[in-house]
Each structure stands twice: as C-alpha cells, then as structure tokens.
Amino acid sequence: MWFKSLQRRHRFAVLMVCAGNICRSPMAEAVLRAKLSSAGLATQVAVDSAGTHGFHRGAPADPRAVARAGLRGYRLAGQTSRPLALADFNRFDLLLAMDRHNLATMVSRCPAGEQHRLGMLLLPATQPSGFGTDGAAARLGEVPDPYYGSVADFDLALDLIEPACDSLLSTLRRRLDELR
C-alpha cells in the first residue's frame, strides 16, 4: 500500500521538504493544511515541513514567504525551521521534495526499504495535467527556490505549489476512500 501511516492521530502523514525550510516547504505545508481543512480532512492527514540542511534551525519562515502566502489566505505563523531527521523517513508516509537536489539528498539519507515514500511535489502523482509555466525549473518538475530572488519569485513558487497541492489533495482523498 502506498501509505502506511505511523501517526496515531492521523491516517496519513505528509512532509514537505526544501533546503532551509524557511521558504518553499513552509509555504507548501501551509497551502496543503488549508486545502485539507477546507476539504474536512485536516484530522485525517498530518502535514509538516523540514529542510535537508539545518542552517536555519529554529528560524521562522522567511518574511517574504509569510507575506506572499498571507495575501492568499495561508498562515505560516508559528512555523519554525527544522532539519530533516532520520525518524522522518518512518514517521511520514510521503516525503515530497521541492526540487531534484533536495530529493537526491533525501534519497542518500533514506534507510533501505523506505525510498518508496519519497517523491517530488510537482511530479506525476501531484502534477496537474496540462499545467505549465515559463519557469525552467517548473518545467523540470521543480519549485524554484525564491530565497535569493524577488517577491515575484515567491509568487511563482506559490503559483506552482497551489495546483500541486490541489492534485495531492485529490490523491489523498482517493487513498482515504480506499481505506473505508
């Protein structure tokens, strides 16, 4: 089975992963949380985020991420950066990287037999058919890192994350229905 949650309070657990856990993965966490809440599934699916590198450990989300997500109704308040932990590979049913570099890092750290839990947010299971953008990274199935960019780069990241989370929500609904 695709999901095998070890969370007692939730049926499934999803971890969003980027490099520093202050821009993309916190935004993806907030977007998916909001969509799950709107769909009435927040009590069934746990969502968290982490970074493959611990250089922002304990820091809040980037103020630009907070502001741009806030304009779309997503709350990042209270989120703090944390590094990806070995226990995450067992604790989460699905660990979704924002780009290929972070996916490669996750693969290199993942215990044998748990790599089936790894994926990318913008690839087939979550990528809406026909969705496209002018960004080269997005064409490669990646959410570009806005950290060194402008406010527009945060908007682009959200433009990619939102439909990917819509598709992920559909996948999660189907999986929950299969268990009923």
Q: How far apart are CA 136 and CA 143, in angstroms?
A: 10
Q: Is 166 a catalytic residue?
A: no
Q: Which residues contact 158 (CB under 8 A, 6 or more apart)?
A: 27, 31, 68, 69, 72
Q: Which residues contact 11 (CB under 8 A, 6 or more apart)?
A: 3, 5, 44, 45, 176, 179
Whether 153 sits among the annotated catalytic residues: the reply is no
Residue 168 has phi, psi (to 5 degrees) of -60, -40
State the catalytic residue, choosing from 145, 153, 165, 175: 145
Give yes or no: 68 in active site: no
- Please tell me which residue in 23, 24, 48, 93 is annotated as part of the active site: 24
**Residue 48 is encoded by which pair of tokens?**
């968290």
User: Would you please indicate which residues are annotated as catalytic (active-site) residues?
Assistant: 18, 24, 145
